[in-house]
Protein backbone atom coordinates (compact mmCIF):
# COMPACT_ATOMS: atom_id res chain seq x y z
CA UNK A 1 0.00 0.00 0.00
CA UNK A 2 1.73 3.15 -1.17
CA UNK A 3 1.85 6.75 -0.03
CA UNK A 4 -0.60 7.88 -2.69
CA UNK A 5 -3.26 5.48 -1.47
CA UNK A 6 -2.86 6.71 2.09
CA UNK A 7 -3.70 10.23 0.99
CA UNK A 8 -6.61 8.95 -1.08
CA UNK A 9 -8.08 7.44 2.08
CA UNK A 10 -7.93 10.90 3.67
CA UNK A 11 -10.29 12.09 0.95
CA UNK A 12 -12.71 9.30 1.90
CA UNK A 13 -12.96 10.28 5.57
CA UNK A 14 -13.07 13.97 4.65
CA UNK A 15 -16.10 13.35 2.43
CA UNK A 16 -17.91 11.47 5.20
CA UNK A 17 -17.10 14.15 7.78
CA UNK A 18 -18.27 16.97 5.52
CA UNK A 19 -21.57 15.20 4.90
CA UNK A 20 -22.20 14.37 8.56
CA UNK A 21 -21.24 17.86 9.76
CA UNK A 22 -24.25 19.33 7.96
CA UNK A 23 -26.41 17.43 10.46
CA UNK A 24 -24.53 18.59 13.55
CA UNK A 25 -26.96 19.61 16.29
CA UNK A 26 -30.07 18.81 14.23
CA UNK A 27 -31.13 15.95 16.51
CA UNK A 28 -31.27 13.34 13.76
CA UNK A 29 -28.49 10.79 14.25
CA UNK A 30 -29.82 8.41 11.60
CA UNK A 31 -29.79 11.08 8.90
CA UNK A 32 -26.25 12.09 9.88
CA UNK A 33 -25.06 8.49 9.71
CA UNK A 34 -26.80 7.93 6.37
CA UNK A 35 -25.22 11.06 4.90
CA UNK A 36 -21.74 10.05 6.06
CA UNK A 37 -22.16 6.50 4.75
CA UNK A 38 -23.40 7.68 1.38
CA UNK A 39 -20.53 10.14 0.98
CA UNK A 40 -17.90 7.61 2.03
CA UNK A 41 -19.25 4.96 -0.31
CA UNK A 42 -19.31 7.35 -3.27
CA UNK A 43 -15.70 8.42 -2.69
CA UNK A 44 -14.53 4.80 -2.57
CA UNK A 45 -15.49 4.46 -6.24
CA UNK A 46 -12.54 6.68 -7.20
CA UNK A 47 -9.89 4.69 -5.30
CA UNK A 48 -7.66 2.38 -7.37
CA UNK A 49 -7.86 -0.77 -5.26
CA UNK A 50 -9.73 -4.03 -4.84
CA UNK A 51 -11.20 -3.52 -1.40
CA UNK A 52 -13.49 -5.72 0.67
CA UNK A 53 -15.44 -4.32 3.63
CA UNK A 54 -14.75 -6.57 6.63
CA UNK A 55 -16.11 -4.17 9.25
CA UNK A 56 -18.90 -1.87 8.15
CA UNK A 57 -22.50 -0.84 8.59
CA UNK A 58 -23.77 -4.40 9.10
CA UNK A 59 -24.61 -7.50 7.10
CA UNK A 60 -25.84 -7.26 3.51
CA UNK A 61 -29.48 -7.51 4.58
CA UNK A 62 -28.99 -4.86 7.29
CA UNK A 63 -27.25 -2.11 5.34
CA UNK A 64 -27.73 -0.78 1.80
CA UNK A 65 -24.05 0.12 1.43
CA UNK A 66 -20.69 -0.43 3.12
CA UNK A 67 -22.06 -3.77 4.29
CA UNK A 68 -19.73 -6.60 5.32
CA UNK A 69 -18.43 -8.33 2.22
CA UNK A 70 -19.10 -5.43 -0.15
CA UNK A 71 -16.43 -4.80 -2.78
CA UNK A 72 -15.27 -1.19 -3.04
CA UNK A 73 -12.78 0.60 -5.26
CA UNK A 74 -12.06 0.18 -8.96
CA UNK A 75 -11.22 -3.53 -8.68
CA UNK A 76 -7.51 -3.06 -9.41
CA UNK A 77 -4.61 -4.19 -7.23
CA UNK A 78 -3.84 -4.05 -4.36
CA UNK A 79 -6.28 -6.35 -2.58
CA UNK A 80 -7.20 -4.76 0.73
CA UNK A 81 -9.48 -5.28 3.72
CA UNK A 82 -11.46 -2.22 4.76
CA UNK A 83 -12.87 -1.43 8.21
CA UNK A 84 -15.08 1.64 8.29
CA UNK A 85 -17.18 3.70 10.64
CA UNK A 86 -18.49 6.60 8.54
CA UNK A 87 -19.80 8.31 11.67
CA UNK A 88 -18.38 7.26 15.01
CA UNK A 89 -20.46 9.05 17.60
CA UNK A 90 -23.88 9.46 15.98
CA UNK A 91 -25.40 10.81 19.21
CA UNK A 92 -22.54 13.28 19.53
CA UNK A 93 -23.28 14.78 16.13
CA UNK A 94 -27.02 14.83 16.70
CA UNK A 95 -26.56 16.73 19.97
CA UNK A 96 -23.67 18.90 18.80
CA UNK A 97 -21.28 17.37 21.32
CA UNK A 98 -17.51 16.90 21.02
CA UNK A 99 -15.64 13.84 19.82
CA UNK A 100 -17.32 12.52 16.67
CA UNK A 101 -15.17 11.38 13.74
CA UNK A 102 -15.34 9.68 10.35
CA UNK A 103 -12.81 6.85 10.48
CA UNK A 104 -11.43 3.88 8.59
CA UNK A 105 -8.61 1.34 8.74
CA UNK A 106 -7.13 -0.42 5.74
CA UNK A 107 -4.84 -3.45 5.70
CA UNK A 108 -3.55 -6.11 3.33
CA UNK A 109 -6.10 -8.85 2.63
CA UNK A 110 -6.63 -11.11 5.64
CA UNK A 111 -4.84 -8.90 8.17
CA UNK A 112 -7.80 -7.42 10.10
CA UNK A 113 -9.83 -9.36 12.66
CA UNK A 114 -13.37 -9.74 11.31
CA UNK A 115 -14.87 -8.63 14.61
CA UNK A 116 -18.56 -9.41 15.06
CA UNK A 117 -20.92 -6.58 16.03
CA UNK A 118 -20.85 -7.04 19.79
CA UNK A 119 -19.03 -5.69 22.83
CA UNK A 120 -15.31 -5.95 23.52
CA UNK A 121 -13.46 -5.32 26.77
CA UNK A 122 -10.42 -3.15 25.95
CA UNK A 123 -7.31 -1.61 27.41
CA UNK A 124 -5.19 0.77 25.31
CA UNK A 125 -1.95 2.68 25.87
CA UNK A 126 0.59 4.55 23.78
CA UNK A 127 4.10 3.40 22.82
CA UNK A 128 5.85 4.39 26.06
CA UNK A 129 3.60 2.07 28.07
CA UNK A 130 3.54 -0.81 25.56
CA UNK A 131 4.32 -4.12 27.26
CA UNK A 132 3.21 -2.80 30.66
CA UNK A 133 -0.51 -3.66 30.56
CA UNK A 134 -2.63 -6.78 30.85
CA UNK A 135 -6.39 -7.07 30.53
CA UNK A 136 -6.19 -9.87 33.11
CA UNK A 137 -4.33 -7.77 35.70
CA UNK A 138 -6.04 -5.78 38.45
CA UNK A 139 -6.87 -2.18 37.56
CA UNK A 140 -4.48 -0.91 40.23
CA UNK A 141 -1.56 -2.86 38.76
CA UNK A 142 -2.20 -1.56 35.25
CA UNK A 143 -2.38 2.03 36.47
CA UNK A 144 0.79 1.70 38.52
CA UNK A 145 2.69 0.14 35.60
CA UNK A 146 1.51 2.76 33.12
CA UNK A 147 2.37 5.58 35.49
CA UNK A 148 5.86 4.12 35.94
CA UNK A 149 6.33 3.82 32.18
CA UNK A 150 5.24 7.43 31.62
CA UNK A 151 7.27 8.84 34.50
CA UNK A 152 4.14 10.04 36.30
CA UNK A 153 2.40 9.49 39.58
CA UNK A 154 -0.80 7.45 39.40
CA UNK A 155 -2.63 10.56 40.58
CA UNK A 156 -1.55 12.35 37.40
CA UNK A 157 -2.90 9.72 35.01
CA UNK A 158 -6.04 10.41 32.98
CA UNK A 159 -8.16 7.36 32.14
CA UNK A 160 -10.90 7.51 29.51
CA UNK A 161 -13.97 5.35 30.18
CA UNK A 162 -17.36 5.23 28.48
CA UNK A 163 -20.02 6.55 30.85
CA UNK A 164 -22.13 3.41 31.14
CA UNK A 165 -23.73 1.57 34.11
CA UNK A 166 -21.65 -1.51 33.27
CA UNK A 167 -18.51 0.43 34.22
CA UNK A 168 -19.43 1.35 37.79
CA UNK A 169 -17.02 -1.21 39.31
CA UNK A 170 -14.23 -0.12 36.93
CA UNK A 171 -14.79 3.55 37.74
CA UNK A 172 -14.71 2.79 41.46
CA UNK A 173 -11.42 0.88 41.10
CA UNK A 174 -9.75 3.65 39.08
CA UNK A 175 -10.80 6.31 41.58
CA UNK A 176 -9.73 4.14 44.50
CA UNK A 177 -6.28 3.86 42.92
CA UNK A 178 -6.12 7.66 42.74
CA UNK A 179 -6.19 8.23 38.97
CA UNK A 180 -8.32 10.80 37.23
CA UNK A 181 -11.18 9.79 34.92
CA UNK A 182 -12.52 11.43 31.78
CA UNK A 183 -15.98 9.97 31.15
CA UNK A 184 -17.22 10.06 27.57
CA UNK A 185 -20.75 9.61 26.28
CA UNK A 186 -19.99 7.88 22.98
CA UNK A 187 -17.20 7.12 20.53
CA UNK A 188 -14.11 5.37 21.94
CA UNK A 189 -11.95 5.17 18.79
CA UNK A 190 -10.55 8.70 18.99
CA UNK A 191 -9.73 8.48 22.73
CA UNK A 192 -8.02 5.12 22.17
CA UNK A 193 -5.83 6.60 19.45
CA UNK A 194 -5.20 9.70 21.56
CA UNK A 195 -3.34 7.59 24.14
CA UNK A 196 -0.45 7.45 21.66
CA UNK A 197 -0.13 11.26 21.56
CA UNK A 198 1.49 12.69 24.72
CA UNK A 199 -0.12 16.12 24.31
CA UNK A 200 -3.67 14.70 24.08
CA UNK A 201 -4.04 14.56 27.86
CA UNK A 202 -5.18 10.91 27.70
CA UNK A 203 -2.91 8.24 29.15
CA UNK A 204 -4.97 5.06 29.04
CA UNK A 205 -8.39 3.88 27.85
CA UNK A 206 -10.24 1.11 29.60
CA UNK A 207 -13.64 -0.54 29.50
CA UNK A 208 -16.20 -2.28 27.34
CA UNK A 209 -17.15 -0.80 23.97
CA UNK A 210 -17.85 -1.94 20.43
CA UNK A 211 -15.71 -4.75 19.02
CA UNK A 212 -15.62 -3.37 15.44
CA UNK A 213 -14.47 -0.01 16.79
CA UNK A 214 -11.81 -1.87 18.76
CA UNK A 215 -10.28 -3.31 15.60
CA UNK A 216 -10.26 0.10 13.91
CA UNK A 217 -8.53 1.66 16.92
CA UNK A 218 -6.06 -1.23 17.06
CA UNK A 219 -4.97 -0.47 13.48
CA UNK A 220 -3.90 3.04 14.53
CA UNK A 221 -2.29 1.85 17.74
CA UNK A 222 -0.26 -0.75 15.83
CA UNK A 223 0.97 1.94 13.42
CA UNK A 224 1.97 4.14 16.35
CA UNK A 225 3.75 1.45 18.35
CA UNK A 226 1.30 1.40 21.24
CA UNK A 227 -0.51 -1.59 22.70
CA UNK A 228 -4.10 -2.71 22.87
CA UNK A 229 -5.60 -5.87 24.32
CA UNK A 230 -9.19 -6.94 23.97
CA UNK A 231 -11.63 -9.68 24.80
CA UNK A 232 -14.97 -10.16 23.10
CA UNK A 233 -17.94 -9.79 25.43
CA UNK A 234 -20.84 -11.84 23.98
CA UNK A 235 -24.06 -11.26 25.90
CA UNK A 236 -25.93 -14.43 24.88
CA UNK A 237 -25.57 -17.82 23.20
CA UNK A 238 -26.40 -16.36 19.80
CA UNK A 239 -23.47 -13.95 20.01
CA UNK A 240 -21.15 -16.73 21.14
CA UNK A 241 -22.25 -18.82 18.17
CA UNK A 242 -21.61 -15.86 15.87
CA UNK A 243 -18.05 -15.63 17.15
CA UNK A 244 -17.46 -19.24 16.20
CA UNK A 245 -18.94 -18.85 12.73
CA UNK A 246 -16.46 -16.01 12.18
CA UNK A 247 -13.53 -18.26 13.08
CA UNK A 248 -13.14 -17.44 16.78
CA UNK A 249 -13.27 -20.85 18.45
CA UNK A 250 -12.83 -19.32 21.92
CA UNK A 251 -15.06 -16.22 22.19
CA UNK A 252 -13.39 -15.29 25.51
CA UNK A 253 -9.82 -15.49 24.21
CA UNK A 254 -7.49 -12.62 25.14
CA UNK A 255 -6.86 -10.78 21.89
CA UNK A 256 -3.43 -9.21 21.48
CA UNK A 257 -2.24 -6.80 18.80
CA UNK A 258 -1.34 -9.68 16.48
CA UNK A 259 -4.86 -11.07 16.83
CA UNK A 260 -6.49 -7.72 16.08
CA UNK A 261 -4.24 -6.43 13.28
CA UNK A 262 -1.44 -8.26 11.49
CA UNK A 263 1.52 -6.97 9.52
CA UNK A 264 2.70 -3.47 8.74
CA UNK A 265 0.67 -2.83 5.58
CA UNK A 266 -1.86 -0.83 7.58
CA UNK A 267 -3.26 2.66 7.08
CA UNK A 268 -5.51 4.54 9.49
CA UNK A 269 -7.43 7.67 8.52
CA UNK A 270 -9.84 9.80 10.53
CA UNK A 271 -11.42 13.22 10.05
CA UNK A 272 -12.98 15.21 12.86
CA UNK A 273 -16.68 16.04 12.63
CA UNK A 274 -17.04 17.81 15.95
CA UNK A 275 -14.08 19.01 18.03
CA UNK A 276 -12.34 16.38 20.14
CA UNK A 277 -9.14 15.59 22.02
CA UNK A 278 -7.47 14.33 18.84
CA UNK A 279 -9.00 16.22 15.92
CA UNK A 280 -10.80 19.50 15.27
CA UNK A 281 -14.26 19.35 13.81
CA UNK A 282 -15.56 20.62 10.48
CA UNK A 283 -15.85 24.41 10.30
CA UNK A 284 -18.04 26.08 7.69
CA UNK A 285 -16.94 29.56 6.65
CA UNK A 286 -17.52 31.98 3.78
CA UNK A 287 -14.48 30.41 2.08
CA UNK A 288 -15.78 26.87 2.25
CA UNK A 289 -15.32 24.09 4.82
CA UNK A 290 -12.22 23.40 6.89
CA UNK A 291 -11.39 19.81 7.90
CA UNK A 292 -8.75 18.29 10.17
CA UNK A 293 -7.61 14.78 9.28
CA UNK A 294 -5.16 12.27 10.72
CA UNK A 295 -3.49 9.72 8.42
CA UNK A 296 -1.04 7.11 9.74
CA UNK A 297 0.98 4.63 7.65
CA UNK A 298 2.07 1.49 9.45
CA UNK A 299 4.90 0.64 7.07
CA UNK A 300 6.77 3.89 7.66
CA UNK A 301 5.21 5.08 10.91
CA UNK A 302 4.50 8.44 9.26
CA UNK A 303 1.84 10.52 11.00
CA UNK A 304 0.19 13.27 8.99
CA UNK A 305 -2.24 15.88 10.28
CA UNK A 306 -3.93 17.46 7.26
CA UNK A 307 -5.71 20.80 7.47
CA UNK A 308 -7.79 21.17 4.33
CA UNK A 309 -10.01 23.87 2.88
CA UNK A 310 -12.78 22.53 0.64
CA UNK A 311 -14.11 25.09 -1.84
CA UNK A 312 -17.77 25.40 -2.71
CA UNK A 313 -19.25 23.24 -5.42
CA UNK A 314 -22.83 23.61 -6.58
CA UNK A 315 -23.84 19.96 -6.55
CA UNK A 316 -26.38 18.87 -3.87
CA UNK A 317 -24.71 17.88 -0.64
CA UNK A 318 -24.68 14.16 0.29
CA UNK A 319 -27.63 13.25 2.47
CA UNK A 320 -29.44 16.56 2.02
CA UNK A 321 -30.03 16.80 -1.72
CA UNK A 322 -32.69 14.05 -1.65
CA UNK A 323 -34.78 16.26 0.60
CA UNK A 324 -34.67 19.25 -1.72
CA UNK A 325 -32.12 21.14 0.35
CA UNK A 326 -30.04 23.60 -1.65
CA UNK A 327 -27.04 23.43 0.67
CA UNK A 328 -23.86 23.13 -1.43
CA UNK A 329 -21.51 20.20 -1.48
CA UNK A 330 -17.87 20.77 -0.76
CA UNK A 331 -15.46 19.07 -3.12
CA UNK A 332 -13.45 16.48 -1.18
Residue 88 marked ligand-binding: yes
Residue 165 marked ligand-binding: yes
Residue 287 marked ligand-binding: no
Residue 67 marked ligand-binding: no
Residue 210 marked ligand-binding: yes
Residue 214 marked ligand-binding: no
Residue 136 marked ligand-binding: no
Residue 62 marked ligand-binding: no
Residue 207 marked ligand-binding: no
Residue 128 marked ligand-binding: no
Q: Write the secondary structure of the chain as one string of H (helix), E (strand) and C (coil).
A: CCHHHHHHHHHHHHHHHHHHHCCCCCCCHHHHHHHHHHHHHHHHCCCCCEEEEEECCCCCCCCCCCCCCCEECCCCCCEEEEEEEEEECHHHHHHCCCCCEEEEEEEECCCECCCCCCEEEEEEECHHHCCCCCCCCCHHHHHHHHHHHHCCCHHHCEEEEECCHHHHHHHHHHHHHCCEEEEECCCCHHHHHHCCCHHHCCCEEEEEEEHHHHHHHHHHHHHHCCEEEEEEECCCHHHHHHHHHCCCCCCCCCECHHHHECCCCEEEEEEECCCCCCCCCCEECCCCEEEEEEEEECCCCCEEEEEEEECEEEEECCCCHHHCCCCEEECC
Residue 187 marked ligand-binding: yes
Residue 110 marked ligand-binding: no
Residue 85 marked ligand-binding: yes
- Detail the residues annotated as belonging to a binding site: 33, 57, 85, 88-90, 119, 164-166, 186-188, 210, 213
- Detail the residues annotated as belonging to a binding site for Mn(2+): 33, 57, 85, 88, 213
- Detail the residues annotated as belonging to a binding site for substrate: 88-90, 119, 164-166, 186-188, 210
Amino acid sequence: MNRRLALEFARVTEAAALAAARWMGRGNKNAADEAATEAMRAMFDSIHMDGTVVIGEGEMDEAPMLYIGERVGTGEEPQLDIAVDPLEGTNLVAKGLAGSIAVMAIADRGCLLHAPDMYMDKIVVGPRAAGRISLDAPVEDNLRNVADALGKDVEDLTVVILDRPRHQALIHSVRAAGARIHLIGDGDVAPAVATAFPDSGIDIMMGIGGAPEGVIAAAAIRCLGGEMQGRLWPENEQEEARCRTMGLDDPRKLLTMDDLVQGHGVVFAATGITDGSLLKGVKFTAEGAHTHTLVIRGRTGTVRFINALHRLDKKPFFGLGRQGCTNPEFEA
